[in-house]
Amino acid sequence: MENNLQRSLAAAEGTVGVSAAAKIKMTARDARVFYGEKEALHGVNLDIRENEVLAFIGPSGCGKSTFLRCLNRMNDTIDGCRVTGKIELDGEDIYDRSLDVVLLRARVGMVFQKPNPFPKSIYDNIAYGPKLHGLASTRAELDEVVERSLIRAGLWDEVKDRLDQPGTGLSGGQQQRLCIARAVAVSPEVILMDEPCSALDPIATAKVEQLITELAENFTIVIVTHNMQQAARVSNRTAFFHLGDLVEVDDTTHIFTSPKDKRTEDYITGRFG
């Protein structure tokens, strides 16, 4: 076990791609995920820098979502799913027994592939997280949090007159931005997005992409996408996954212009995937 870790640490040097200048937000060392007996992720080593937008690309079923869910322990909610290895947030092991997973998820928020607003009013959707974590003590403060989050998500102008209407009544793109606002409202440090635009039309997608770029000023963002133009547009760095392995991670421009690995090149030139 120890040996294994050491070996993969050594091997990781190449793929981790740490730059001395940037502060590291999260690290993964030899992260493996098992669904039952089947190993779906074979030892991933990756550093996520503060305030960067990191994109995960790779063919379907290669483990992008699986790895993303490791980062805020959403894998815990899946029966028979087991995670080994070391994943740290600001140097703290997030799989440590003493760590409160509820607080972890408040620090590492998540936006899902399909917009999933709660069947509540728009206001209550946003206020849900802050209320849980006691981020606002008065109604006025809560109002302010809601307004700020909606402004950040670029949704305020569209919904400010109907905050009491159900969130499920919004359009798909608005719902997704509502979900982003909902995640932003708890002031997380990292936001994980699993294919946030796959259910949206091009215009809504453009809005969400713009939003991601803006959010990157304050948050660290990890985004899974199947759309390579999207990865190229929004991300600083891109990680390529293939069959449960992290093949390569580098500056987005490098990945798309001069990938080191043959598999990456094949994928981005559309030869498989």
Partner 1 sequence: MNNWLLVCVLLITMGFAYQFGLARSKSVAAGGPGRMHSRPGYYGLLVALWCGVPALAVFMLWSAFEPNIIRASVMEYLPAEVVSADGSQLNVALRRIENIASGFGVSDQPAEYELRAAERMSAVQQTGRLSMYGLMAVLGVAGLVLTLRRITPNLRARNQVESVVKALLVACSAIAVFTTVGIVLSMIGEATKFFSFVSPLDFFFGTVWNPRFSTVGTGDQGQFGLIPLLWGTIMVSIVAMLIAVPVGLMTAIYMAEYAPGWLRSMAKPVIEVLAGIPTIVYGFFALVTVGPFFHGLGQMIGIDIRATSALTAGVVMGIMIIPFVSSLSDDIITQVPKAMRDGSLGLGATKSETIRNVVLPAALPGIVGAFLLAASRAIGETMIVVLAAGNSPVLHANPFEAVSTVTVTIVNQLTGDTDFASPQSLVAFALGLTLFVITLGLNVVALYIVRKYREQYE
Ligand X SMILES: Nc1ncnc2c1ncn2[C@@H]1O[C@H](COP(=O)(O)OP(=O)(O)OP(=O)(O)O)[C@@H](O)[C@H]1O
Buried b (16+ CB within 10 A) or exposed e, 55-92: bbbbeeebbbbbbbbbbbbbbeeeeebebbbbbbbeee
Tell me how far, at minimum, the Cβ of 198 lies from Mg ion, in Å.
Answer: 9
In degrees to the nearest 10, what's the CA dihedral of 124, 125, 129, 134? -10
Look at strands 237-242 and 245-251 and give their pairing. antiparallel
Q: Which residues bind ligand X (CB under 6 A)?
A: 35, 40, 58, 60-66, 78
Tell me how far, at minimum, the Cβ of 221 lies from ligand X, in Å.
Answer: 17
**Judged by CB under 8 A, which stretch of 33-41, 178-186, 216-224, 239-247 contacts partner 1?**
178-186
The 201-240 contact track toward partner 1, x by CB under 8 A, reads: ----------------------------------------
Q: Please choose which of Mg ion, ligand X, partner 1, none residue 167 contacts, taking the beta carbon within 5 to 8 angstroms, the exact cut-off set by kind.
A: none
**Judged by CB under 8 A, which stretch of 2-10, 175-183, 208-216, 231-239 contacts partner 1?**
175-183
- Binder among 31, 62, 155, 183 for partner 1 (CB under 8 A): 183
Tell me if 148 contacts partner 1 by CB under 8 A.
no
- Binder among 64, 182, 233, 263 for partner 1 (CB under 8 A): 182
Tell me if 116 contacts partner 1 by CB under 8 A.
yes
Q: 50 with 22: CB under 8 angstroms?
A: yes
Q: What is the 3-state secondary structure (H, E, C) of 192-258?
A: EEECCCCCCCHHHHHHHHHHHHHHCCCCEEEEECCCHHHHHHHCCEEEEEECCEEEEEEEHHHHHHC
Q: Which residues bind Mg ion (CB under 5 A)?
A: 65
How many distinct helices (H) and strands (E) make up the chain? Answer: 11, 10
Q: Which three-class secondary structure state does DSSP give residue 64?
A: helix
Tell me if 160 contacts partner 1 by CB under 8 A.
no
Residue number, 60 or 98, with CB nearest to ligand X:
60
Tell me if 119 contacts partner 1 by CB under 8 A.
yes
**Helix 172-185 / helix 139-152 crossing angle, nearest 10 deg:** 130
Binding site for partner 1 (CB under 8 A): 72, 74, 77, 79, 102-106, 109-110, 112, 114, 116-120, 128-129, 132-133, 179, 182-183, 186
